[in-house]
Amino acid sequence: MISVENLRVVYHDVISVLNGVSLRVDDGEVVVLIGANGAGKTTLLRSICGLIKVFDGDIIEGDIRSGDTSLLGLDSMDIIKRHRITYVMEDRPVFEYLTIEENLEAAAFSRRDGEIKKDVEQVLEIFPPLKNIRGKRAGYASGGEQQMLAIGMGLMTRPQCMLLDEPSLGLAPLITEELFRIIEGLNREGLTILLVEQNAHAALSIGHRGYVMETGRIVLDGAAEELIRNEDVREFYLGAGERERKSYKDAKRYKRRKRWL
Amino acid sequence: MVDFIQAVGSGVLVGLIYALLGLGIVVIFKASEAFNFAIGEFLVIGSFLFYVLFFDLRLPFLVALPLGLAASALVGALVERLTIKPLLGRSPMSMTIVTLGLGFLLRATVQLFFGSHTYSFFLDLPDITLELGSLIFLSDPIWAGMLSLATFGLVLLLLFRTRWGLAIRAVSESQARSMAYGIDARLILLVIWALSATCIAVAGIMISNFGALAAGSGIVGLRAIPVVLIGGMDSIGGALLGGLIVGVCESLVAAYIEPHGMVGFKEVAPYILLLLVLFIRPYGLFGTVRIERV
Protein backbone atom coordinates (compact mmCIF):
# COMPACT_ATOMS: atom_id res chain seq x y z
CA MET A 1 0.00 0.00 0.00
CA ILE A 2 1.35 3.38 -0.98
CA SER A 3 0.50 6.45 1.00
CA VAL A 4 1.47 10.00 0.23
CA GLU A 5 1.20 12.48 3.06
CA ASN A 6 1.21 16.26 2.64
CA LEU A 7 3.76 16.15 -0.11
CA ARG A 8 5.33 19.37 -1.26
CA VAL A 9 7.67 19.31 -4.25
CA VAL A 10 9.66 22.12 -5.79
CA TYR A 11 11.46 22.21 -9.16
CA HIS A 12 14.72 24.12 -9.73
CA ASP A 13 14.53 25.41 -6.16
CA VAL A 14 11.85 27.92 -7.04
CA ILE A 15 8.84 26.41 -8.76
CA SER A 16 6.41 24.88 -6.34
CA VAL A 17 4.48 22.17 -8.14
CA LEU A 18 2.99 20.02 -5.39
CA ASN A 19 1.46 22.00 -2.55
CA GLY A 20 0.46 19.43 0.00
CA VAL A 21 -0.78 16.28 -1.72
CA SER A 22 -2.14 13.34 0.23
CA LEU A 23 -3.43 10.16 -1.27
CA ARG A 24 -3.49 6.44 -0.79
CA VAL A 25 -3.29 3.40 -3.04
CA ASP A 26 -4.39 0.12 -1.48
CA ASP A 27 -3.23 -3.25 -2.71
CA GLY A 28 -5.19 -4.63 -5.59
CA GLU A 29 -6.84 -1.35 -6.48
CA VAL A 30 -6.89 0.73 -9.60
CA VAL A 31 -6.65 4.32 -8.38
CA VAL A 32 -7.22 7.01 -10.96
CA LEU A 33 -5.68 10.46 -10.81
CA ILE A 34 -7.17 13.00 -13.16
CA GLY A 35 -6.50 16.66 -13.68
CA ALA A 36 -5.63 19.27 -16.24
CA ASN A 37 -2.18 19.86 -17.66
CA GLY A 38 0.21 21.27 -15.15
CA ALA A 39 -1.69 19.99 -12.16
CA GLY A 40 1.34 18.10 -10.92
CA LYS A 41 0.29 14.54 -11.67
CA THR A 42 3.54 13.53 -13.35
CA THR A 43 5.52 15.23 -10.60
CA LEU A 44 3.69 13.13 -8.05
CA LEU A 45 4.51 9.91 -9.88
CA ARG A 46 8.15 10.92 -10.27
CA SER A 47 8.31 11.60 -6.55
CA ILE A 48 6.84 8.25 -5.61
CA CYS A 49 9.23 6.26 -7.76
CA GLY A 50 12.37 8.13 -6.76
CA LEU A 51 13.11 9.92 -10.03
CA ILE A 52 12.35 13.45 -8.91
CA LYS A 53 16.00 14.40 -8.49
CA VAL A 54 16.75 13.46 -12.07
CA PHE A 55 14.45 16.30 -13.10
CA ASP A 56 15.97 18.77 -10.65
CA GLY A 57 13.10 18.48 -8.24
CA ASP A 58 13.14 18.30 -4.45
CA ILE A 59 10.73 16.92 -1.94
CA ILE A 60 10.71 19.69 0.63
CA GLU A 61 7.99 18.44 2.91
CA GLY A 62 5.83 15.43 3.53
CA ASP A 63 6.29 11.70 3.30
CA ILE A 64 5.78 8.84 0.89
CA ARG A 65 5.39 5.43 2.41
CA SER A 66 5.20 1.95 1.01
CA GLY A 67 3.61 -0.05 3.78
CA ASP A 68 5.53 1.10 6.83
CA THR A 69 8.73 2.22 5.16
CA SER A 70 9.38 5.71 3.92
CA LEU A 71 10.45 5.97 0.28
CA LEU A 72 12.03 9.39 0.68
CA GLY A 73 15.66 9.49 -0.39
CA LEU A 74 15.57 6.11 -2.08
CA ASP A 75 16.51 5.96 -5.74
CA SER A 76 14.42 4.33 -8.43
CA MET A 77 16.50 1.16 -8.55
CA ASP A 78 15.84 0.48 -4.87
CA ILE A 79 12.18 1.29 -5.15
CA ILE A 80 11.72 -1.06 -8.09
CA LYS A 81 13.74 -3.84 -6.54
CA ARG A 82 12.70 -3.76 -2.91
CA HIS A 83 9.31 -2.12 -2.97
CA ARG A 84 8.25 -3.42 -6.37
CA ILE A 85 6.87 -0.11 -7.55
CA THR A 86 7.54 0.64 -11.21
CA TYR A 87 6.86 3.89 -13.03
CA VAL A 88 5.97 3.88 -16.71
CA MET A 89 6.86 7.41 -17.75
CA GLU A 90 4.76 9.69 -19.91
CA ASP A 91 5.15 9.82 -23.66
CA ARG A 92 5.89 6.19 -24.40
CA PRO A 93 9.30 5.65 -22.77
CA VAL A 94 10.91 3.12 -25.07
CA PHE A 95 14.43 2.85 -26.43
CA GLU A 96 13.91 3.69 -30.05
CA TYR A 97 17.09 2.20 -31.50
CA LEU A 98 16.60 -1.13 -29.78
CA THR A 99 14.24 -3.78 -31.10
CA ILE A 100 11.02 -4.66 -29.30
CA GLU A 101 12.63 -7.75 -27.82
CA GLU A 102 15.78 -5.89 -26.84
CA ASN A 103 13.65 -3.28 -25.12
CA LEU A 104 11.98 -5.94 -22.99
CA GLU A 105 15.32 -7.52 -22.18
CA ALA A 106 16.84 -4.17 -21.29
CA ALA A 107 14.00 -3.48 -18.87
CA ALA A 108 14.91 -6.72 -17.12
CA PHE A 109 18.58 -5.77 -16.76
CA SER A 110 18.41 -5.31 -13.02
CA ARG A 111 17.01 -8.80 -12.53
CA ARG A 112 19.32 -11.63 -11.66
CA ASP A 113 16.95 -14.59 -12.06
CA GLY A 114 16.85 -16.87 -15.06
CA GLU A 115 13.26 -16.36 -16.11
CA ILE A 116 13.75 -13.30 -18.28
CA LYS A 117 13.24 -15.09 -21.59
CA LYS A 118 10.06 -16.64 -20.25
CA ASP A 119 8.77 -13.27 -19.15
CA VAL A 120 9.55 -11.75 -22.54
CA GLU A 121 7.37 -14.39 -24.19
CA GLN A 122 4.66 -13.81 -21.63
CA VAL A 123 4.61 -10.08 -22.24
CA LEU A 124 4.38 -10.71 -25.98
CA GLU A 125 1.35 -12.90 -25.27
CA ILE A 126 -0.29 -10.14 -23.25
CA PHE A 127 0.24 -7.65 -26.09
CA PRO A 128 -0.36 -9.56 -29.33
CA PRO A 129 0.48 -6.61 -31.63
CA LEU A 130 4.01 -6.62 -30.20
CA LYS A 131 4.48 -10.26 -31.07
CA ASN A 132 4.19 -9.50 -34.75
CA ILE A 133 6.88 -6.84 -34.66
CA ARG A 134 9.25 -8.33 -32.12
CA GLY A 135 12.33 -7.81 -34.30
CA LYS A 136 11.46 -4.28 -35.32
CA ARG A 137 13.15 -1.25 -33.85
CA ALA A 138 10.90 0.45 -31.37
CA GLY A 139 11.29 3.82 -33.04
CA TYR A 140 9.44 2.48 -36.09
CA ALA A 141 6.50 1.12 -34.10
CA SER A 142 3.18 2.93 -33.96
CA GLY A 143 2.15 4.98 -30.96
CA GLY A 144 -0.12 2.29 -29.64
CA GLU A 145 2.56 -0.37 -30.04
CA GLN A 146 5.10 1.82 -28.30
CA GLN A 147 2.76 2.40 -25.39
CA MET A 148 2.11 -1.32 -25.09
CA LEU A 149 5.84 -1.90 -25.20
CA ALA A 150 6.39 0.63 -22.43
CA ILE A 151 3.85 -1.08 -20.20
CA GLY A 152 5.35 -4.43 -21.13
CA MET A 153 8.77 -3.15 -20.12
CA GLY A 154 7.28 -2.10 -16.83
CA LEU A 155 5.95 -5.61 -16.37
CA MET A 156 9.40 -7.02 -17.00
CA THR A 157 10.52 -5.54 -13.69
CA ARG A 158 7.93 -7.77 -11.98
CA PRO A 159 6.17 -5.01 -10.05
CA GLN A 160 3.46 -5.28 -7.46
CA CYS A 161 2.34 -1.77 -8.24
CA MET A 162 2.62 0.15 -11.50
CA LEU A 163 2.35 3.88 -11.92
CA LEU A 164 1.02 4.63 -15.40
CA ASP A 165 1.43 8.15 -16.73
CA GLU A 166 -1.20 9.06 -19.33
CA PRO A 167 -1.00 5.83 -21.33
CA SER A 168 -3.78 6.88 -23.69
CA LEU A 169 -2.16 10.14 -24.75
CA GLY A 170 -2.24 10.52 -28.50
CA LEU A 171 -3.80 7.15 -29.15
CA ALA A 172 -6.83 6.36 -31.25
CA PRO A 173 -9.99 5.50 -29.29
CA LEU A 174 -10.01 1.85 -30.34
CA ILE A 175 -6.39 1.37 -29.30
CA THR A 176 -7.16 3.14 -26.03
CA GLU A 177 -10.02 0.73 -25.44
CA GLU A 178 -7.81 -2.27 -26.04
CA LEU A 179 -5.10 -0.83 -23.84
CA PHE A 180 -7.48 -0.19 -20.95
CA ARG A 181 -8.93 -3.65 -21.29
CA ILE A 182 -5.43 -5.06 -20.92
CA ILE A 183 -4.72 -2.79 -17.95
CA GLU A 184 -7.93 -3.94 -16.29
CA GLY A 185 -6.92 -7.53 -16.93
CA LEU A 186 -3.54 -6.96 -15.31
CA ASN A 187 -5.28 -5.54 -12.29
CA ARG A 188 -7.55 -8.52 -12.04
CA GLU A 189 -4.48 -10.72 -11.86
CA GLY A 190 -3.28 -8.82 -8.84
CA LEU A 191 -1.37 -5.79 -10.10
CA THR A 192 -2.04 -2.59 -8.17
CA ILE A 193 -2.26 0.39 -10.48
CA LEU A 194 -2.09 4.13 -10.00
CA LEU A 195 -3.38 5.51 -13.27
CA VAL A 196 -2.82 9.10 -14.23
CA GLU A 197 -5.01 10.09 -17.12
CA GLN A 198 -6.47 12.96 -19.04
CA ASN A 199 -8.98 10.64 -20.63
CA ALA A 200 -11.01 10.77 -17.46
CA HIS A 201 -13.95 8.78 -18.71
CA ALA A 202 -12.00 5.73 -19.81
CA ALA A 203 -9.86 5.82 -16.70
CA LEU A 204 -12.72 6.15 -14.24
CA SER A 205 -14.54 3.29 -15.96
CA ILE A 206 -11.86 0.82 -14.96
CA GLY A 207 -10.94 2.49 -11.67
CA HIS A 208 -12.03 1.70 -8.14
CA ARG A 209 -11.27 5.05 -6.61
CA GLY A 210 -10.20 8.37 -7.99
CA TYR A 211 -8.60 11.66 -7.10
CA VAL A 212 -8.90 14.98 -8.87
CA MET A 213 -5.85 17.20 -8.82
CA GLU A 214 -5.55 20.88 -9.54
CA THR A 215 -2.48 23.12 -9.23
CA GLY A 216 -0.67 20.82 -6.90
CA ARG A 217 -3.51 19.88 -4.60
CA ILE A 218 -6.10 17.15 -4.37
CA VAL A 219 -9.44 18.85 -4.74
CA LEU A 220 -11.78 15.89 -4.81
CA ASP A 221 -11.67 12.20 -4.13
CA GLY A 222 -14.08 9.32 -3.96
CA ALA A 223 -15.20 6.10 -5.52
CA ALA A 224 -14.87 6.06 -9.27
CA GLU A 225 -18.60 5.72 -9.86
CA GLU A 226 -19.26 8.77 -7.71
CA LEU A 227 -16.68 10.84 -9.51
CA ILE A 228 -18.14 9.96 -12.88
CA ARG A 229 -21.47 11.28 -11.65
CA ASN A 230 -20.07 14.34 -9.89
CA GLU A 231 -21.37 17.45 -11.57
CA ASP A 232 -18.15 19.42 -11.53
CA VAL A 233 -16.07 16.49 -12.70
CA ARG A 234 -18.47 15.96 -15.53
CA GLU A 235 -18.29 19.54 -16.57
CA PHE A 236 -14.56 20.08 -16.30
CA TYR A 237 -13.15 16.69 -17.21
CA LEU A 238 -15.80 14.67 -18.92
CA GLY A 239 -17.14 17.41 -21.11
CA ALA A 240 -20.75 16.70 -20.32
CA GLY A 241 -22.55 19.73 -18.95
CA GLU A 242 -26.09 19.02 -17.78
CA ARG A 243 -27.36 22.29 -19.01
CA GLU A 244 -26.79 23.98 -22.33
CA ARG A 245 -23.34 25.23 -23.11
CA LYS A 246 -22.81 27.98 -20.61
CA SER A 247 -21.78 31.44 -21.54
CA TYR A 248 -18.29 32.45 -20.58
CA LYS A 249 -19.72 34.93 -18.15
CA ASP A 250 -21.32 32.17 -16.14
CA ALA A 251 -18.09 30.23 -15.94
CA LYS A 252 -16.18 33.03 -14.29
CA ARG A 253 -14.60 31.94 -11.04
CA TYR A 254 -16.36 34.25 -8.66
CA LYS A 255 -19.68 32.93 -9.82
CA ARG A 256 -18.65 29.30 -9.31
CA ARG A 257 -18.76 27.53 -6.04
CA LYS A 258 -15.64 28.36 -4.14
CA ARG A 259 -15.00 24.83 -2.98
CA TRP A 260 -15.19 21.40 -4.48
CA LEU A 261 -17.13 19.87 -1.65
CA MET B 1 50.25 2.66 -59.06
CA VAL B 2 52.24 0.48 -56.74
CA ASP B 3 53.04 3.53 -54.69
CA PHE B 4 49.35 4.30 -54.50
CA ILE B 5 48.43 0.87 -53.19
CA GLN B 6 51.32 1.03 -50.77
CA ALA B 7 50.16 4.39 -49.47
CA VAL B 8 46.54 3.32 -49.18
CA GLY B 9 47.54 0.11 -47.42
CA SER B 10 49.68 1.89 -44.86
CA GLY B 11 46.96 4.46 -44.45
CA VAL B 12 44.39 1.77 -43.70
CA LEU B 13 46.60 0.21 -41.03
CA VAL B 14 47.18 3.52 -39.28
CA GLY B 15 43.55 4.40 -39.85
CA LEU B 16 42.45 1.39 -37.84
CA ILE B 17 44.30 2.76 -34.83
CA TYR B 18 42.63 6.12 -35.35
CA ALA B 19 39.29 4.34 -35.60
CA LEU B 20 39.86 2.83 -32.18
CA LEU B 21 40.60 6.29 -30.77
CA GLY B 22 37.47 7.53 -32.43
CA LEU B 23 35.50 4.71 -30.86
CA GLY B 24 36.71 5.81 -27.44
CA ILE B 25 35.32 9.27 -28.11
CA VAL B 26 32.06 8.15 -29.68
CA VAL B 27 31.16 5.75 -26.89
CA ILE B 28 31.35 8.55 -24.33
CA PHE B 29 29.67 11.07 -26.58
CA LYS B 30 26.67 8.80 -27.19
CA ALA B 31 26.14 8.42 -23.48
CA SER B 32 26.78 11.91 -22.17
CA GLU B 33 27.11 14.21 -25.20
CA ALA B 34 30.52 15.25 -23.92
CA PHE B 35 33.73 15.25 -25.95
CA ASN B 36 36.62 13.84 -23.97
CA PHE B 37 39.44 16.31 -24.64
CA ALA B 38 41.71 14.36 -22.33
CA ILE B 39 41.94 11.56 -24.88
CA GLY B 40 45.65 12.17 -25.44
CA GLU B 41 46.36 11.86 -21.74
CA PHE B 42 44.30 8.68 -21.47
CA LEU B 43 46.44 7.37 -24.32
CA VAL B 44 49.66 8.18 -22.52
CA ILE B 45 48.49 6.89 -19.16
CA GLY B 46 47.36 3.63 -20.73
CA SER B 47 50.72 3.26 -22.45
CA PHE B 48 52.68 4.04 -19.30
CA LEU B 49 50.66 1.61 -17.20
CA PHE B 50 51.48 -1.11 -19.68
CA TYR B 51 55.10 0.08 -19.83
CA VAL B 52 55.52 -0.32 -16.10
CA LEU B 53 54.00 -3.79 -16.11
CA PHE B 54 55.83 -5.10 -19.15
CA PHE B 55 59.17 -3.31 -19.25
CA ASP B 56 59.79 -2.45 -15.62
CA LEU B 57 58.23 -5.40 -13.85
CA ARG B 58 59.02 -7.67 -16.76
CA LEU B 59 55.71 -9.51 -16.62
CA PRO B 60 55.01 -11.74 -19.59
CA PHE B 61 53.19 -10.03 -22.42
CA LEU B 62 49.98 -12.00 -22.07
CA VAL B 63 49.83 -11.03 -18.40
CA ALA B 64 50.93 -7.45 -18.74
CA LEU B 65 48.47 -6.65 -21.51
CA PRO B 66 45.19 -7.57 -19.78
CA LEU B 67 46.52 -6.21 -16.50
CA GLY B 68 47.54 -2.98 -18.13
CA LEU B 69 44.17 -2.64 -19.83
CA ALA B 70 42.39 -3.38 -16.58
CA ALA B 71 44.48 -0.70 -14.90
CA SER B 72 43.52 1.74 -17.65
CA ALA B 73 39.88 0.83 -17.18
CA LEU B 74 40.27 1.56 -13.51
CA VAL B 75 41.79 4.95 -14.22
CA GLY B 76 38.92 5.72 -16.57
CA ALA B 77 36.43 4.73 -13.91
CA LEU B 78 38.24 6.83 -11.31
CA VAL B 79 38.22 9.86 -13.57
CA GLU B 80 34.51 9.39 -14.15
CA ARG B 81 33.75 9.10 -10.46
CA LEU B 82 35.82 12.11 -9.45
CA THR B 83 35.19 14.54 -12.25
CA ILE B 84 32.21 13.54 -14.35
CA LYS B 85 29.72 12.12 -11.90
CA PRO B 86 29.47 15.33 -9.88
CA LEU B 87 28.35 16.99 -13.08
CA LEU B 88 25.47 14.62 -13.69
CA GLY B 89 22.47 16.55 -14.85
CA ARG B 90 24.53 19.57 -15.86
CA SER B 91 25.04 20.55 -19.45
CA PRO B 92 27.30 18.38 -21.59
CA MET B 93 29.35 21.50 -22.27
CA SER B 94 30.38 21.55 -18.61
CA MET B 95 31.66 18.01 -18.90
CA THR B 96 33.56 18.82 -22.08
CA ILE B 97 35.22 21.79 -20.44
CA VAL B 98 36.14 19.69 -17.44
CA THR B 99 37.92 17.22 -19.70
CA LEU B 100 40.00 20.09 -21.09
CA GLY B 101 41.31 20.94 -17.65
CA LEU B 102 41.55 17.26 -16.82
CA GLY B 103 43.92 16.83 -19.73
CA PHE B 104 46.34 19.36 -18.29
CA LEU B 105 46.10 17.83 -14.85
CA LEU B 106 46.72 14.31 -16.11
CA ARG B 107 49.65 15.37 -18.28
CA ALA B 108 51.29 17.09 -15.32
CA THR B 109 50.69 14.02 -13.17
CA VAL B 110 52.33 11.79 -15.75
CA GLN B 111 55.31 14.15 -15.90
CA LEU B 112 55.51 14.00 -12.13
CA PHE B 113 55.84 10.25 -12.15
CA PHE B 114 57.68 9.62 -15.36
CA GLY B 115 59.46 12.85 -16.17
CA SER B 116 59.43 14.44 -19.58
CA HIS B 117 62.05 12.33 -21.27
CA THR B 118 61.43 9.73 -23.89
CA TYR B 119 61.13 6.07 -23.07
CA SER B 120 62.00 3.54 -25.68
CA PHE B 121 59.07 1.27 -26.29
CA PHE B 122 59.67 -1.87 -28.25
CA LEU B 123 57.41 -4.91 -28.29
CA ASP B 124 59.12 -7.89 -29.75
CA LEU B 125 56.11 -9.20 -31.60
CA PRO B 126 56.41 -12.05 -34.12
CA ASP B 127 57.49 -10.75 -37.48
CA ILE B 128 54.60 -10.71 -39.92
CA THR B 129 56.08 -8.41 -42.50
CA LEU B 130 54.12 -8.72 -45.70
CA GLU B 131 55.82 -8.59 -49.06
CA LEU B 132 53.68 -8.72 -52.18
CA GLY B 133 55.77 -8.07 -55.23
CA SER B 134 57.15 -4.61 -54.76
CA LEU B 135 54.72 -3.80 -51.97
CA ILE B 136 56.02 -4.08 -48.46
CA PHE B 137 54.09 -3.74 -45.22
CA LEU B 138 56.15 -3.80 -42.07
CA SER B 139 55.30 -6.03 -39.15
CA ASP B 140 54.63 -3.43 -36.48
CA PRO B 141 52.01 -1.45 -38.43
CA ILE B 142 50.26 -4.69 -39.40
CA TRP B 143 50.12 -5.76 -35.76
CA ALA B 144 48.87 -2.33 -34.78
CA GLY B 145 46.14 -2.38 -37.40
CA MET B 146 45.05 -5.94 -36.71
CA LEU B 147 44.98 -5.56 -32.94
CA SER B 148 43.05 -2.31 -33.26
CA LEU B 149 40.56 -3.97 -35.55
CA ALA B 150 40.23 -6.90 -33.17
CA THR B 151 39.58 -4.56 -30.25
CA PHE B 152 37.02 -2.67 -32.29
CA GLY B 153 35.32 -5.96 -33.09
CA LEU B 154 35.31 -7.05 -29.47
CA VAL B 155 33.65 -3.80 -28.44
CA LEU B 156 30.99 -4.30 -31.11
CA LEU B 157 30.42 -7.80 -29.82
CA LEU B 158 30.08 -6.47 -26.31
CA LEU B 159 27.64 -3.75 -27.31
CA PHE B 160 25.37 -5.80 -29.55
CA ARG B 161 25.52 -9.31 -28.17
CA THR B 162 25.66 -9.02 -24.41
CA ARG B 163 23.31 -7.92 -21.63
CA TRP B 164 25.68 -5.24 -20.46
CA GLY B 165 26.01 -3.95 -24.00
CA LEU B 166 22.24 -3.69 -24.15
CA ALA B 167 22.22 -1.69 -20.95
CA ILE B 168 24.96 0.57 -22.33
CA ARG B 169 22.91 1.22 -25.47
CA ALA B 170 19.78 1.88 -23.44
CA VAL B 171 21.52 4.34 -21.11
CA SER B 172 23.13 6.02 -24.11
CA GLU B 173 19.65 6.71 -25.44
CA SER B 174 18.07 8.02 -22.29
CA GLN B 175 19.35 7.98 -18.74
CA ALA B 176 15.99 8.91 -17.27
CA ARG B 177 14.13 6.12 -19.02
CA SER B 178 16.80 3.61 -18.09
CA MET B 179 16.56 4.56 -14.46
CA ALA B 180 12.78 4.30 -14.59
CA TYR B 181 13.20 0.64 -15.54
CA GLY B 182 15.72 -0.06 -12.84
CA ILE B 183 18.93 0.15 -14.88
CA ASP B 184 21.63 1.73 -12.74
CA ALA B 185 22.56 4.52 -15.14
CA ARG B 186 25.37 5.80 -12.95
CA LEU B 187 27.05 2.40 -12.90
CA ILE B 188 26.66 2.07 -16.64
CA LEU B 189 28.25 5.48 -17.19
CA LEU B 190 31.17 4.29 -15.11
CA VAL B 191 31.45 1.20 -17.29
CA ILE B 192 31.29 3.32 -20.42
CA TRP B 193 34.20 5.48 -19.28
CA ALA B 194 36.18 2.40 -18.32
CA LEU B 195 35.47 0.87 -21.72
CA SER B 196 36.53 4.03 -23.50
CA ALA B 197 39.74 4.23 -21.49
CA THR B 198 40.53 0.62 -22.36
CA CYS B 199 40.08 1.23 -26.11
CA ILE B 200 42.26 4.30 -25.94
CA ALA B 201 44.90 2.37 -23.99
CA VAL B 202 45.07 -0.30 -26.68
CA ALA B 203 45.52 2.37 -29.31
CA GLY B 204 48.12 4.04 -27.14
CA ILE B 205 50.17 0.88 -26.79
CA MET B 206 50.06 0.37 -30.54
CA ILE B 207 51.13 3.95 -31.20
CA SER B 208 53.91 3.83 -28.63
CA ASN B 209 55.23 0.72 -30.26
CA PHE B 210 56.08 2.75 -33.33
CA GLY B 211 59.04 4.15 -31.50
CA ALA B 212 58.89 5.95 -28.25
CA LEU B 213 56.72 7.00 -25.37
CA ALA B 214 56.88 10.31 -23.56
CA ALA B 215 54.57 12.44 -21.45
CA GLY B 216 53.92 14.63 -24.44
CA SER B 217 53.00 11.77 -26.77
CA GLY B 218 49.38 12.45 -26.10
CA ILE B 219 49.26 15.08 -28.80
CA VAL B 220 48.49 12.36 -31.30
CA GLY B 221 45.22 11.76 -29.48
CA LEU B 222 43.81 14.91 -30.98
CA ARG B 223 43.85 13.17 -34.35
CA ALA B 224 40.62 11.70 -33.08
CA ILE B 225 38.95 15.05 -33.68
CA PRO B 226 38.80 14.85 -37.47
CA VAL B 227 38.02 11.15 -37.17
CA VAL B 228 34.83 11.65 -35.21
CA LEU B 229 33.80 14.87 -36.85
CA ILE B 230 34.07 13.30 -40.30
CA GLY B 231 32.40 10.10 -39.23
CA GLY B 232 29.75 11.58 -37.01
CA MET B 233 30.16 12.13 -33.29
CA ASP B 234 27.50 9.66 -32.29
CA SER B 235 28.19 6.97 -34.85
CA ILE B 236 30.26 3.88 -34.14
CA GLY B 237 30.42 2.93 -37.79
CA GLY B 238 31.37 6.52 -38.47
CA ALA B 239 34.37 6.17 -36.16
CA LEU B 240 35.62 3.24 -38.20
CA LEU B 241 35.08 4.97 -41.51
CA GLY B 242 36.40 8.28 -40.22
CA GLY B 243 39.51 6.59 -38.93
CA LEU B 244 40.18 4.91 -42.25
CA ILE B 245 39.56 8.12 -44.16
CA VAL B 246 41.92 10.13 -41.97
CA GLY B 247 44.57 7.42 -42.07
CA VAL B 248 44.45 7.08 -45.85
CA CYS B 249 44.34 10.85 -46.30
CA GLU B 250 47.45 11.32 -44.19
CA SER B 251 49.22 8.54 -46.00
CA LEU B 252 48.39 9.77 -49.49
CA VAL B 253 49.41 13.31 -48.63
CA ALA B 254 52.69 12.05 -47.16
CA ALA B 255 53.37 10.04 -50.30
CA TYR B 256 52.34 12.51 -52.97
CA ILE B 257 52.27 16.05 -51.65
CA GLU B 258 54.94 16.22 -48.99
CA PRO B 259 57.82 15.27 -51.29
CA HIS B 260 57.14 18.54 -53.09
CA GLY B 261 58.35 20.49 -50.11
CA MET B 262 55.36 20.91 -47.80
CA VAL B 263 56.76 18.85 -44.98
CA GLY B 264 54.31 18.21 -42.19
CA PHE B 265 51.32 18.91 -44.38
CA LYS B 266 49.99 15.46 -43.67
CA GLU B 267 49.02 16.68 -40.22
CA VAL B 268 46.97 19.46 -41.71
CA ALA B 269 45.33 17.59 -44.54
CA PRO B 270 42.74 15.71 -42.47
CA TYR B 271 41.46 19.01 -41.12
CA ILE B 272 41.03 20.41 -44.61
CA LEU B 273 39.19 17.27 -45.54
CA LEU B 274 37.10 17.70 -42.40
CA LEU B 275 36.14 21.19 -43.48
CA LEU B 276 35.03 19.90 -46.87
CA VAL B 277 32.96 17.12 -45.32
CA LEU B 278 31.30 19.50 -42.89
CA PHE B 279 30.25 21.74 -45.75
CA ILE B 280 28.28 18.87 -47.21
CA ARG B 281 27.28 16.95 -44.10
CA PRO B 282 27.42 19.17 -40.99
CA TYR B 283 26.81 16.27 -38.68
CA GLY B 284 29.48 14.10 -40.20
CA LEU B 285 28.95 11.31 -42.68
CA PHE B 286 26.93 9.15 -40.32
CA GLY B 287 26.09 11.47 -37.49
CA THR B 288 22.64 11.77 -35.93
CA VAL B 289 20.88 9.23 -38.03
CA ARG B 290 17.47 9.93 -36.67
CA ILE B 291 14.83 7.26 -36.67
CA GLU B 292 11.55 8.86 -37.47
CA ARG B 293 8.32 7.11 -38.08
CA VAL B 294 6.47 8.50 -41.04
Domains and CATH numbers, chain A: 2-218 (3.40.50.300)
ipTM of the complex: 0.88
Which CATH number is B258's domain given? 1.10.3470
- Over 90: is that where the pLDDT of A11 sits? yes
Tell me, what DSSP letter sits at residue A208? Answer: S
Nearest to B196 by CA among B25, B14, B3: B25
Quote the mean pLDDT of chain A: 89
Mutation target among A95, A100, A103, A123 for the B interface, most CBs of B within 10 A:
A95
From first to last of its 294 residues, what are the pLDDT tens digits of chain B?
Answer: 788 899 999 999 999 999 999 999 999 999 988 899 999 999 999 999 999 988 888 888 888 889 999 999 999 999 888 887 777 767 778 888 999 999 999 999 999 998 888 888 888 888 888 888 888 888 889 999 999 999 999 999 999 999 999 999 999 999 999 999 999 998 999 999 999 999 999 999 999 988 788 888 888 888 899 999 999 988 899 999 999 999 999 999 998 887 888 888 888 999 999 999 999 888 888 887 555 555
Does residue B215 lie in a domain region? yes
What is residue B59's three-state secondary structure?
coil
Q: Which residues in chain A touch residue B169, judged by CB atoms under 8 angstroms apart?
A: 95, 97-98, 102, 106
Q: What integer is the mean pLDDT of A63-84?
A: 93
CA separation for the pair B148, B153 (Å, rounded):
9
Asked, for residue B56, whether it belongs to a domain, the answer is yes
Residue B286 in any domain: the answer is no
- pLDDT-based confidence at residue A245 (cuts at 50, 70, 90): low
Instruction: Tell whether B290 is covered by a domain.
Output: no
Q: Is residue B287 part of a domain?
A: no
- Inter-chain CB proximity B184 and A107 less than 8 Å: no
Rounded Cα distance, B137 and B12, in Å: 11
Number of structural domains (chain B) is: 1
Chain B: residue whose CA lies nearest to A83: B182
CA-nearest residue of chain B to A104? B181
Q: Answer yes or no: is pLDDT of A244 > 70.
A: no
Cα A10 to Cα A40: distance, rounded to the nearest angstrom: 11
Q: What DSSP assignment string belongs to A35-79?
A: E-TTSSHHHHHHHHHT-GGGGTEEEEEEEEEETTEE-TT--HHHH
Q: What is the pLDDT of residue B134?
A: 83
The shortest CB-CB distance from B167 to any of A55, A87, A109 is to A109
| Contacts for A90 with CB less than 8 Å, ≥ 6 apart | A42, A165, A166, A169
CB contact under 8 A, B183 and A98: no
Is the pLDDT reported for residue A10 higher than 60?
yes
Higher pLDDT, A246 or A17: A17
Q: pLDDT tens digits, residue range A139-172?
A: 999 999 999 999 999 999 999 999 999 999 999 9
Contact between A51 and B177 using a beta-carbon 8 Å cutoff: no
Residue A93, chain B, CB below 8 Å: the answer is yes
Q: Is residue B289, in this structure, part of any structural domain at all? A: no
For residue B124, the model assigns a pLDDT of: 80
Q: Given a cut of 80, is residue A247 above it in pLDDT?
A: no
What pLDDT shows up at residue A256? 54
**Rounded distance, CA A22 to CA A19, Å?**
10
CA A102 to chain B, closest CA, distance in angstroms equals: 7
Residue A192 backbone phi and psi in degrees, to 5? -80, 140
The percentage of residues in chain A with a pLDDT greater than 70, rounded to a whole number, is 91
Which pLDDT value is given to residue A28? 94
Q: Give the pLDDT of residue A257.
A: 56
User: Taking 60 as the threshold, does the pLDDT of residue A175 lie above it?
Assistant: yes
* Domain around B107: 2-280
- CA-based nearest residue to B153, from B23, B2, B6: B23
Q: Are B218 and B230 a contacting pair, CB within 8 Å?
A: no
Is B292 in contact with A139 (Cβ distance < 8 A)? yes
Pairing outcome for strands A15-25 and A2-11: antiparallel
Q: Which of B177, B186, B236, B289 to mutate to test the interface with A (most CBs of A within 10 A)?
A: B177
Judge whether residue A250 has pLDDT over 90.
no
Determine, yes or no, domain membership for B128. Answer: yes
